Structure 1
Amino acid sequence: MSSPSKLPRIAYLTGQYPEVSLTFILREVEALRDLGAEVLTCSIRRTPPEQHPGPAEKEAAATTFHVLEVARNPARLLAAQAYLITRPGRYFATLMLALRSGAPGIKARAYQLIFFIEATILARHLEAEKVTHLHNHFVFGSATVAMLTSELTGIPYSFTLHGPADLFEPTRWRLDAKTARAKFVSTISHFARSQLMFFSDPAHWDKIRIIHCGVTPALYETAAGPALPPRSPDEIRLLFVGRLAPVKGLRVLLAALTELSDLPNLRLVLVGDGPDRARLEAAAAPLGDRVTFTGYLSQTEVAQALQACDIFVLPSFAEGVPVVLMEALASEKPVIATQVAGVGELVEEGQSGFLVPPGDAETLADRIRTLVGDPELRAAMGQHGRAKVVTDFDIRIEAARLATLFAGAAGEDIRPAPHARDGDR
């Protein structure tokens, strides 16, 4: 590990926090705090109670600063403007930055003004809390707010680029400007880094680093609990965990399961919820009790569900480097995933699982059949996958790498050495 140096007082910002699908951010915050960092969490909007299934999410919801709640209070909104207008040069320069860094059109300009107002609220909060670094996850509206807040206050900012959605509209979200103004940019994979290099000036490539999302491997060593229904001795259980949305390719998985009708003991459990649930339930109805929908589960329950499955399947049309695949591999489960974006940087074909073409139900069914019929292969893949996660995707190590960036001690390494706390040398 690198020599310890002082960490700044950090604020984390996202559009919505905490959220079931963003547990990796919660883990990152917790790991940074374990390193001794002071981390305040901020969210543009408050998430509903169903997004807080476990105690960690409930505590995060209770302690997070919510920008829009303050902005909707006229007195506090005016107080923020009165506070910041005392530095008119920064105030109006930031307003002009907001107006010129948006997409063309009246609607886009209106959104930029909203982002500016949100930035004034956040700026006053961060200065009151003596924050010295602002970090944002994703590149959408909250990243614009982070950039404008940095301009208002002089507090340096950074952001994490995930993908694939981060890369859908690079011009609209001005990846070039955000990268140019950021102290550094964290990307979750070589693939994501290469895409940001494509959309940014080469003069700023040296600030684009790779910090993996990660998991705590020890959480996935426990025995199965009551998260899923009891299983028969000869059942082979497939598991999917994620948002029930079209991008996850679940209709392809249901089609593959239909092709495997000659395997009567094969069952599929879908953990999660989302806008496509009702349509997926209708599509799964002909499969009867071979498909179970559980809704959202807490982090602990997801870990229990992983222990109670045999094969993990993620048939998505688009992904970054999915944390849920790390969780499955940490649970020593073989995985079948689609060959998209950075997935191949985690799943090693034929070693920890299989990579299949997106949208290809026939190949997906074939790989499921292979694993169903070979328990020894399943065990070997599970062991290989866990070793990969322990080495390259442990959240404690990845947070320590990120801390090195926060401390300004990363040098030129694309993958910074982990930050060491005082007394750890």
Structure 2
Amino acid sequence: MTLAYLMNTYPVTSGTFIRREIAAIEQAGTPVTRFAVRRWNDTLVDPLDLAEQDKTRYLLSGNAPGLLIAFLAELLTRPHKLARALPTWLGLIRAAKGRIIHHIAYLMQAAALRRETAKAGITHVHCHFCTNATAVAMLSRLMGGPAYSFTVHGPDELIDLPGIGIRPKIENAAAVIAITRYCRGRLTEHVGEAHWGRIHIVHCGLKLDDFPDAAGDPQGSTLVCVGRLCPQKGQVHIPAAVAEVRGRFPDLRVLLIGDGESRAAVEAEVAKHGVGDIVTLAGWRSNAEVRAAIGTGRALLLPSYAEGLPIVIMEAFAMRRPALTTTIAGIPELVDASCGWLIAPGDHDALVAAISDAMAASPERMAAMGAEGRTRVEARHDLAKIAPQLLAAFQITQN
């Protein structure tokens, strides 16, 4: 098998898990050719992301004339193959209730991908997220291109699965990877039982060598929140909760790592509740800086409304830090009372109570929770174990 990965936008600051996965697969002995539709417009801050950008071939960014040439070449030299993709392509348009310009672009990208993969001898393409890139890989396959598979994470892609054409994407795929039981359950609702067997649960993971097993100091006073500042992550609720508990825990600090559209709203809440001396908005930081912050913090704080299964929880557990998070999607499959605190999203009183309990917990309790988190990551989310599982799923295409 000759393998390529195709992403919509890559690399991105929040997509470290994809870079790590590719590295683990290559370490297992299978080289990976990187494709992406477009470059990320924001600034990359991690040196490894910058290096990854240099390895990635872009179908659209800086290549609009190339897309047109590739499409016309397919139309003129392989019209019967191109025609095979048209019924499914039209079905995607109907499911999306329009957006025809976008779907014309997907068809052109699929033509370019088929030609690029043919030149490179690629036999399998794997995508992350069941949205645009998977549509391109599917159409490319129908045109005679390589087999494909895709990983489904959530939360956004799970909102309207029929609208993104999930059924044909599963039915034409060699394999589908769901990162949690919750995610697999959502997928099986939208495809016939005959196709359930191709939907595999393979967790996302970490390169544990990057997270040495060191207990550290469980008595830190900083709660660390990592992620894009957006409504789905719920960071806007943190200032009010912190204001309510600061009298009991004068050493409490909260570090928010990330940036995004909710920054102004979070800053307004910080000012409203007078916690500017407690809550710090640090912006995006490199992977090394994120690890250092979590490792010196007391616990991870992630009061999200929508998630798949956050990689940052795995990172915190790898460094023996418990997580304070919410009872959504796949999170309860990893987090429970033995290694963290689970609350309903948007529940102010529960957030206050959980922060208070985390700050008041004894060193022994924090150490025990951290140890349980580390054990779970080692068992379920070690990329050295996950990479062979992915390769085994991909090899279905060769049977």
TM-score by length of 1: 0.88
2:46 and 2:134 map into 1 onto residues whose CA distance is: 27
Greater displacement, 380-389 / 367-376: 367-376
2:287 and 2:108 map into 1 onto residues whose CA distance is: 35
Which of 163, 174, 188 lines up with 2:165 in the alignment?
174
Q: Which residue of 1 is the match for residue 48 of structure 2? A: 56
Gaps of 5+ in 2: none
Q: Which residue of 1 is the match for residue 316 of structure 2? A: 328
Q: Which residue of 1 is the match for residue 356 of structure 2? A: 369
Q: Is the 8 A contact 2:182 2:330 kept in 1?
A: yes
Q: How far is 1:153 from its partner?
A: 2.4
Q: Which residue of 1 is the match for residue 381 of structure 2? A: 393
Q: How far is 1:217 from its partner?
A: 2.3
Q: How far is 1:71 from its partner?
A: 4.1
Q: Which residue of 2 is the match for residue 288 of structure 1? A: 276
Alignment of 1:134-283 (within 5 A): 134-221=125-212, 236-262=221-247, 263-283=249-269
Q: What is the SS of the residue equivalent to 2:99? A: helix
Q: What is the SS of the residue equivalent to 1:102? A: helix
Q: How far is 1:272 from its partner?
A: 0.7
TM-score by length of 2: 0.94
Q: How far is 1:235 from its partner?
A: 6.0
Q: Which residue of 2 is the match for residue 306 of structure 1? A: 294
Q: Is the 8 A contact 2:17 2:311 kept in 1?
A: yes
Which of 110, 127, 132 lines up with 1:119 in the alignment?
110
Counterpart residue type for residue 19 of structure 1: V
1:105 and 1:272 map into 2 onto residues whose CA distance is: 31
Q: Is the 8 A contact 1:15 1:44 kept in 2?
A: yes
Q: How far is 1:117 from its partner?
A: 0.9
Q: Which residue of 2 is the match for residue 358 of structure 1? A: 345
Counterpart residue type for residue 354 of structure 1: W
Q: What is the SS of the residue equivalent to 1:289? A: coil
Q: What is the SS of the residue equivalent to 1:163? A: coil
Q: How far is 1:409 from its partner?
A: 9.3
Q: How far is 1:234 from its partner?
A: 8.3
Q: Is the 8 A contact 2:59 2:67 kept in 1?
A: no
Q: Is the 8 A contact 1:328 1:334 kept in 2?
A: yes
Q: How far is 1:49 from its partner?
A: 5.6
Deviations 1:133-177 (A, max 9, x none): 011110111111111011112411111011111111111111111
Q: RMSD value over aligned CA atoms?
A: 2.3
Counterpart residue type for residue 180 of structure 2: S
Q: Is the 8 A contact 1:235 1:267 kept in 2?
A: no
Q: How far is 1:179 from its partner?
A: 0.4
Q: How far is 1:104 from its partner?
A: 5.5
Q: What is the SS of the residue equivalent to 1:354? A: strand
Q: Which residue of 2 is the match for residue 422 of structure 1? A: none
1:183 and 1:221 map into 2 onto residues whose CA distance is: 36
Which of 356, 362, 366 lines up with 1:378 in the alignment?
366
Deviations 1:305-335 (A, max 9, x none): 1111011111000111110000001010011
Q: Is the 8 A contact 2:174 2:198 kept in 1?
A: yes
Q: Is the 8 A contact 1:272 1:297 kept in 2?
A: yes
Q: How far is 1:77 from its partner?
A: 2.5
Q: Which residue of 2 is the match for residue 407 of structure 1? A: 395
1:61 and 1:45 map into 2 onto residues whose CA distance is: 11
Q: What is the SS of the residue equivalent to 1:68? A: coil
Q: How far is 1:103 from its partner?
A: 3.3
Counterpart residue type for residue 332 of structure 2: G
Deviations 1:53-98 (A, max 9, x none): 222111110110111135412x663244225531211112213321
Q: What is the SS of the residue equivalent to 1:103? A: helix
Counterpart residue type for residue 26 of structure 2: R
Query: What is the total number of aligned residue pairs between the two structures?
Result: 395
2:324 and 2:252 map into 1 onto residues whose CA distance is: 15
2:96 and 2:258 map into 1 onto residues whose CA distance is: 37
Q: How far is 1:251 from its partner?
A: 1.7
Q: What is the SS of the residue equivalent to 2:374? A: helix
Q: What is the SS of the residue equivalent to 2:93? A: coil
2:219 and 2:391 map into 1 onto residues whose CA distance is: 47
2:70 and 2:231 map into 1 onto residues whose CA distance is: 43
Q: What is the SS of the residue equivalent to 2:127? A: strand
1:345 and 1:200 map into 2 onto residues whose CA distance is: 24
Q: How far is 1:298 from its partner?
A: 1.1
Q: How far is 1:40 from its partner?
A: 0.7
Counterpart residue type for residue 315 of structure 1: P
1:38 and 1:276 map into 2 onto residues whose CA distance is: 39
Matched, 1:85 2:72: no
Q: What is the SS of the residue equivalent to 2:254? A: strand
Q: Percent same amino acid at aligned positions?
A: 35
1:410 and 1:60 map into 2 onto residues whose CA distance is: 28
When residues 410 and 147 of structure 1 are mapped into structure 2, their CA distance, relative to the original with a 3 A threshold, is closer
When residues 84 and 399 of structure 1 are mapped into structure 2, their CA distance, relative to the original with a 3 A threshold, is farther
Q: Which residue of 2 is the match for residue 423 of structure 1? A: none
Greater displacement, 149-158 / 318-327: 149-158
1:71 and 1:106 map into 2 onto residues whose CA distance is: 28
